[in-house]
């Protein structure tokens, strides 16, 4: 959102300022996101001194005068660049969502951010803002299943085409797909997901950016690169540093972090975000104020939670990796020892941590996987990830049940695969739980 603390160029006072939203530096020191999550973007003095932001339950906002109302709508409808200068109507934005957006952007030093009602509504709004009939979306594969459905089955109905390359593709392989896409018409968007679910294969974002820049070198406006950073962001991967233009989140996962809300986010430059904002304003895919408030609470502990979950996952994976009933652990921290030089190289260049979601391949098949899952006492049997509690699921029988066998084989979705998201419990308690469940197979 625009900073309203200064009067606008016409000299009229900014009508709904955000007040004093706190310093971002002290004595030349740039404050870290973990510090800024407690206060940035909110002035208690505008809310009766309330330390925490109230939840603003209102559908509309009062204009100080008619001219200000007109200026607002010129901003909202794109007649005047820069978007709205204050709050107008709750389908467009509200105080809680604005604070959330300001704080979300800080984690990846993005110019701006948008909050959405779910990860999928964020992705759908991004796509709708970018594509027209006949365009091609180039994407890495596999993608989150609903994203694949959205591109293939839903946008496909409106004449949008797609071409994909495997997540681990080399520069040459990416170049070949980009070239083919360009020959087929306008490329609207390059869309990535890294690590891919459930293979954990990392996308070489630097190679994708270099390929896009080379293949579309003669165009003034090159297709933007968007990436779903739900699994590693914002602590363990910040792909805008490797050349991505737009970062997408399911805030339902690590950002929300308590398995008690559904929301999404998009980060990027002001120009890209304003294009997406126009679509969100039109279709109303913003999150509600209560969810935004819960996310503000979540973001205060984001670094603590993710750090602890990452440390726990490293300990648990070491234990599992050495267990005789375990065939293989698909954990980013093991890329080096598993001898995958190319993936290990991408990991070193693109990642800041191995995350806490991984694939566990047990020896055996469905019987062994089910016995393991049914004997877990601390870990809960549920899909999703990134919460304070440890979750385990069986992709072949759950999230990927309807995927054809051939594709399951290609993705490594075997009957013995268990997906695990480690939480913030005591690591040794978790190891005891996994050990007892393995014993029970």
Task: Note the residues at the interface with ligand PLP (CB under 6 A).
Answer: 118-120, 144, 193, 197, 228, 230-231, 250, 252-253, 262, 264
The dihedral built from the CA positions of residue 190, 195, 199 and 202, taken in this order, carries a sign that is positive
Return the number of the residue (41 or 264) whose C-beta is nearest ligand PLP: 264
Closest residue (Cβ) to ligand PLP?
A: 119
H or E element: which one contains 420?
Answer: strand 417-421
Sheet holding 417-421: strands in order across?
A: 326-330, 357-362, 417-421, 391-393, 380-381
Q: For the chain, how far is it from start to end, CA to CA, in angstroms?
A: 54
- Minimum distance, C-beta of residue 383 to ligand PLP, in the bound complex (Å): 9
> Of 319 and 358, which CB lies nearer to ligand PLP in the complex structure?
358
**Cis ω before 32 (30° cut-off from 0):** no
Instruction: Identify which of residues 75 and 264 has a Cβ nearer to ligand PLP in the complex.
Output: 264
| Nearest distance from C-beta of residue 418 to ligand PLP, angstroms | 17
The b/e string for 5-22 (b: 16+ C-beta within 10 A; e otherwise) is: eeebeeeeebbbbbeebe
Q: Which residue's CB is nearer to ligand PLP, number 4 or number 357?
A: 357
Kindly state the smallest distance separating residue 201's Cβ from ligand PLP, in Å: 13
R_g over Cα of the chain: 23
Question: Shortest approach of ligand PLP to residue 230 CB, angstroms?
Answer: 4
Which is closer to ligand PLP, CB of 254 or CB of 293?
Answer: 254
CB of 147 to ligand PLP, least distance (A): 6
Where b means 16+ CB within 10 Å and e means fewer, 262-292 reads bbbbbbbeeebbbbbbebbbeeebbbbbebb
User: If 0-12 CB within 10 Å is exposed, 13-18 middle and 19+ buried, where does residue 61 land?
Assistant: buried
Taking the least distance from each CB to ligand PLP, the nearer of 230 and 281 is: 230
> What percentage of the chain's residues is helix, strand, coil (to nearest 5)?
40, 15, 45
The least CB distance from residue 167 to ligand PLP, in Å, is 12
Whole-number Cα distances in Å, 406 to 226, 365, 402: 28, 17, 11
Q: Can you tell me the distance from the alpha carbon of 418 to that of 398, in angstroms, rounded to the nearest whole number?
A: 10
Cα 61 to chain centroid distance, Å, stands at 30
Residue 76 or 190 with smaller CB distance to ligand PLP: 190
What does each C-alpha distance from 94 to 61, 251, 337, 402 come to in angstroms? Answer: 9, 18, 49, 39
Q: Nearer to ligand PLP by C-beta: 36 or 247? A: 247
What contacts 198, CB < 8 A, 6 or more positions away? 330, 359, 395, 399, 400, 411, 412, 413, 417, 419
Nearer Cβ to ligand PLP (1/261): 261
CB of 185 to ligand PLP, least distance (A): 27
161 versus 253: smaller Cβ distance to ligand PLP: 253
Residue 152 Cβ, how far from ligand PLP at the closest point, in Å? 15
Minimum CB separation of residue 419 from ligand PLP in Å reads 11
- How near is the Cβ of 119 to ligand PLP at its closest, in Å? 2
3-state secondary structure of 20: coil
| Interacting residues of 72 by C-beta distance below 8 A, sequence separation 6+ | 15, 63, 84, 85, 86, 88
Residue placing its CB nearer to ligand PLP in the complex, 136 or 230 = 230
- In angstroms, rounded to a whole number, what is the distance separating the alpha carbons of residues 200 and 401? 19
Which residues partner with 139 through β-bridges?
164, 191
In angstroms, give the least distance from the CB of 114 to ligand PLP. Answer: 14
Neighbours of 409 (CB within 10 A): 11
């Amino acid at each position: 959102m625009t900073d309203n603390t200064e009067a606008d160029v016409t000299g009229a006072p900014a009508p709904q300022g955000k007040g004093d939203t706190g310093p971002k530096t002290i004595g030349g020191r740039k404050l870290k996101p973990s510090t800024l999550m407690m206060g940035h973007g909110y002035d208690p003095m505008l809310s009766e001194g309330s330390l925490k932001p109230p939840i603003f339950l209102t559908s509309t906002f009062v204009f100080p005068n008619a001219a200000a109302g007109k200026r607002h709508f010129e901003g909202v409808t794109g007649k005047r660049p820069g978007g709205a200068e204050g709050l107008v109507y709750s389908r467009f934005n509200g105080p809680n969502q604005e604070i959330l957006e300001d704080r979300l952007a800080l984690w990846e030093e993005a110019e701006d951010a948008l909050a959405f009602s779910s990860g999928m509504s964020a992705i759908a709004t991004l796509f709708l803002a970018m594509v027209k009939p006949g365009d091609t979306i180039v994407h890495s594969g596999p993608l989150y299943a609903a994203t694949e459905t959205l591109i293939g089955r839903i946008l496909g109905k409106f004449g949008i085409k797609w071409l994909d390359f495997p997540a681990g593709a080399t520069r040459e392989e990416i170049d070949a797909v980009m070239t083919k896409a360009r020959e087929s018409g306008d490329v609207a968007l390059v869309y990535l997901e890294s690590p891919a679910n459930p293979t954990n294969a990392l996308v070489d974002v630097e190679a994708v950016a270099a390929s896009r820049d080379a293949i579309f070198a003669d165009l003034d406006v090159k297709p933007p690169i968007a990436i779903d950073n739900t699994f590693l962001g914002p602590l363990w991967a910040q792909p805008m540093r490797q050349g991505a233009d737009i970062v997408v989140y399911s805030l339902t996962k690590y950002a929300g972090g308590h398995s008690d809300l559904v929301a999404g986010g998009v980060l990027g430059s002001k120009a890209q975000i304003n294009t997406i904002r126009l679509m969100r304003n039109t279709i109303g895919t913003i999150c509600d104020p209560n969810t935004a408030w819960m996310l503000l609470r979540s973001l205060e502990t984001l670094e603590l939670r993710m750090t602890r979950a990452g440390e726990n996952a490293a300990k648990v994976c070491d234990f599992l990796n050495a267990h005789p009933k375990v065939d293989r652990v698909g954990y980013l921290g093991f890329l080096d020892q598993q001898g995958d030089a190319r993936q290990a190289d991408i990991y070193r260049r693109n990642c800041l941590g191995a995350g806490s979601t991984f694939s566990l391949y047990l020896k055996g098949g469905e019987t062994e996987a089910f016995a393991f899952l049914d004997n877990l006492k601390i870990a809960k049997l549920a899909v999703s990830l990134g919460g304070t509690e440890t979750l385990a699921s069986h992709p072949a029988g759950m999230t990927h049940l309807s995927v054809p066998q051939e594709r399951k084989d290609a993705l490594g979705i075997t009957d013995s695969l268990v997906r695990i998201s480690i939480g913030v419990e005591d690591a040794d308690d978790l190891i005891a739980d996994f050990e007892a469940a393995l014993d029970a197979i």
